[in-house]
Amino acid sequence: MAVDPDNLQDACPTTTTFTPQTIHINGFPCKNPNNITAADFKTSRLNHPGDTDVFVRSSTTIVTAADFPGLNTLGLSVARTDIEVDGLVLPHSHPRASEMFFVSKGVVVAGFIDTKNQLFQKVLKEGDVFVFPRGLLHYCLNAGFENATVYSVLNSQNPGVVGDRL
User: CB of 22 within 8 A of CB of 32?
Assistant: no
Rounded Cα gap, residues 140 and 26, in angstroms:
31
In a domain, 159, yes or no: no
pLDDT at 133 exceeding the cut of 80? yes
Q: What is the mean pLDDT of residues 142-151?
A: 98
**Which domain covers residue 101, as residue numbers?**
24-154
**Nearest residue to 148 via CA among 99, 98, 102, 94:** 102
User: CB of 79 within 8 A of CB of 62?
Assistant: yes
In a domain, 17, yes or no: no
In a domain, 74, yes or no: yes
In a domain, 9, yes or no: no
In a domain, 41, yes or no: yes
Give the three-state DSSP class for 126: coil
Q: pTM of the full predicted structure?
A: 0.88
CATH code of the domain containing 122: 2.60.120.10
pLDDT at 5 exceeding the cut of 70? no
pLDDT (tens digit, 9 = 90+) per residue, 97-127? 999 999 999 999 999 999 999 999 999 999 9
What pLDDT is recorded for position 12?
81
Close Cβ partners of 160 (under 8 Å, ≥ 6 residues apart): 94, 95, 96, 97
In a domain, 8, yes or no: no
Residues constituting the chain? 166
In a domain, 57, yes or no: yes
Residue 146 labeled ligand binder: no
Q: Is the dihedral of CA 71, 73, 77, 78 positive or negative?
A: negative
Rounded Cα gap, residues 18 and 86, in angstroms:
46
The total domain count for the chain is 1
Rounded Cα gap, residues 57 and 66, in angstroms:
26
Residue 24 labeled ligand binder: no
Percentage of residues in the chain having pLDDT higher than 70: 88
In a domain, 75, yes or no: yes
pLDDT (tens digit, 9 = 90+) per residue, 15-57? 777 666 656 556 688 888 889 999 999 999 999 999 999 999 9
Give the three-state DSSP class for 53: coil
